[in-house]
């Protein structure tokens, strides 16, 4: 069985590894357009803060990791077209310009996304940077240590934007964050938790200019200022644009069905419109399980789950199960805070027209008699107001409580209710938690009870 994988990031690596280790007769080739396999963008903050062993260690795998199982990884090889009738791909060697054809029995598309630029004047000025991939990470690292860079404007308050803002603020730069959304991390956190993050960012010297868009990047060849939609100018020696992504699917137009924004259309088995062609990773809209709807979920963990499922089922004429979907679980440190989120929140519920209810639990992590190391914790639960099925959750604390989000994610997958979580059997030791776990107490609070501490 000849398998071609397009793209060597999280999903592509997982798909190739699974195929090589599950099927003895698999002949696997990975085509990667980039020259480096495969930088882990979610580790960029660690990279920029010199918290990694070596720069080139921030990667999923090395080609040798697949080659030892008999796989081939070809970098600087861009798939430019697919003939789905002949089951062939056209590939351009970006180093030599040579064009070749290769055949497949199974084709797995993991071509991913690219950071979106802002279509405003000056977007092509020197020192207007994007923040994704090894090349940009290296350029940003150099600017981080450049004494001539004193003011930085970050466009976007998602995870990437907040990471960039924190890194440059810690380096002593003057940082302004601009975004149309009215609160930091507003796509991930509800207002109560986002306000804690806002205060933390401002305490650390970051200027949040929210509720505004960028109208132009200004400068004579090189960036000097960023102008917003109200005509206000912000000095900028550097701008970091972290304003979303676009799918790398132009090469598929007219061959594989795409939606109007370019996302690859897949069925419940992650099959595309062409026979024996599958799609995984950031360029598809996987099932967002808590909502029962497809949604963009650009996470390494999502891509890997999709890849594992595809390789397991791609030899079956009719798989026994469809892809189970994902919750979109993620976590992030923001200065002294640690936060994590999973499933439905107020923002995506509104976009998906979901009827939800929510509850906030706020207390110290441990019993009140514990005087040292007993920070506050906030837990937000999102649930179905009629059935009490748990649909989402968010946690935030100055302690590392992010593992609680994995428990909530399991509760969502297991279709647990508030009543189930309110009585779930967790351990008690006062150095770690309360007699009722904070998750028990959060659920009891959501049920309208006055929880015993």
Q: Which are the catalytic amino acids?
A: 10, 42
**3-state DSSP assignment of residue 30:** strand
Cα 11 to Cα 283: distance, rounded to the nearest angstrom: 11
Q: Which helix (H) or strand (E) holds 31?
A: strand 27-31
Q: How far apart are CA 170 and CA 193, in angstroms?
A: 22
| Cβ partners under 8 Å of residue 84, min gap 6 | 255, 256, 274, 275, 277
Nearest one of 302, 45, 295 to 160, comparing CA atoms: 45
147-150 own/partner pairs: CB under 8 Å, 24+ apart: 148/237, 149/173, 149/237, 149/238, 150/174, 150/237
Q: What DSSP state is assigned to residue 116? A: P
Q: How, if at all, do strands 214-218 and 225-228 pair?
A: antiparallel
Is the Cβ–Cβ distance between 453 and 367 less than 8 Å?
Answer: yes
Residue 8 CA to residue 111 CA, distance in Å, equals 8
How far is the CA of 142 from the CAs of 47, 83, 149, 155, 378, in angstroms? 12, 43, 10, 19, 37
Burial class (CB in 10 A: 0-12, 13-18, 19+), 186: buried
Evaluate whether 344 touches 329 at the Cβ level (below 8 Å).
no
Contact 359/446 with Cβ under 8 angstroms? Answer: yes
**What angle is formed at CA 301 by the lines to CA 182 and CA 168, rounded to 5 degrees?**
45
Burial of 361 (0-12, 13-18, 19+ CB in 10 A): buried
* Phi-psi map region of 376: left, alpha, beta (phi>0 left; psi -120 to 50 alpha): beta
């Amino acid at each position: 069985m000849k398998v071609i994988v397009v793209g060597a990031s999280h999903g592509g690596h997982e798909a190739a590894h699974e195929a090589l280790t599950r099927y003895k007769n698999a002949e696997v080739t990975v085509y990667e357009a980039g020259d480096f396999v495969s930088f882990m963008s979610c580790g960029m903050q660690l990279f920029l803060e010199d918290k990694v062993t070596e720069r080139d260690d921030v990667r999923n795998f090395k080609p040798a990791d697949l080659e030892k199982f008999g796989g081939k990884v070809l970098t600087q090889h861009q798939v430019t077209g697919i003939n789905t009738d002949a089951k062939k791909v056209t590939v351009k060697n970006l180093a030599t310009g040579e064009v070749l054809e290769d055949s497949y029995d199974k084709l797995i598309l993991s071509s991913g996304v690219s950071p979106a630029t802002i279509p405003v004047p000056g977007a092509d000025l020197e020192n207007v940077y994007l923040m994704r991939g090894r090349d940009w990470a290296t350029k940003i690292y150099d600017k981080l240590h450049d004494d001539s860079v004193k003011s930085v404007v970050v466009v976007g308050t998602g995870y990437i934007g907040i990471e960039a803002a924190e890194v440059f603020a810690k380096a002593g730069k003057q940082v302004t964050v601009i975004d149309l959304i009215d609160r930091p991390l507003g796509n991930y956190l509800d207002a109560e938790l986002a306000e804690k993050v806002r205060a933390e960012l401002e305490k650390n010297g970051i200027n949040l200019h929210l509720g505004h868009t960028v109208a132009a990047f200004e400068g004579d060849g090189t960036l000097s200022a960023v102008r917003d939609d109200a005509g206000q100018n912000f000095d900028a020696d550097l701008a970091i644009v972290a304003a979303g992504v676009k799918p790398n699917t132009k090469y598929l137009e007219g061959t594989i069905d795409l939606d109007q924004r370019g996302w690859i259309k897949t069925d419940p088995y992650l099959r595309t419109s062409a026979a024996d062609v599958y799609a995984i990773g950031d360029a598809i809209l996987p099932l967002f399980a808590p909502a029962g709807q497809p949604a963009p979920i650009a996470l390494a963990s999502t891509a890997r789950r999709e890849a594992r499922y595809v390789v397991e089922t791609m030899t079956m004429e009719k798989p026994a199960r469809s892809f189970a979907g994902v919750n979109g679980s993620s976590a992030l440190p923001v200065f002294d805070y640690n936060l994590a989120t999973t499933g439905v929140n107020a923002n995506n519920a509104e976009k998906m027209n979901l009827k939800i209810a929510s509850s906030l639990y706020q207390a110290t992590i441990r019993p009140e008699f514990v005087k040292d190391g007993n920070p506050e914790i906030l837990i937000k639960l999102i649930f179905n107001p009629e059935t009490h099925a748990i649909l989402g959750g968010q946690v935030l604390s100055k302690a590392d409580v992010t593992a609680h989000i994995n428990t909530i994610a399991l509760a969502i997958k297991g279709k647990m209710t508030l009543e189930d979580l309110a009585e779930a059997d967790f351990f008690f030791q006062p150095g770690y938690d309360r007699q009722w776990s904070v998750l028990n107490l959060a659920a009891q609070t959501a049920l309208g009870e006055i929880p015993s501490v």
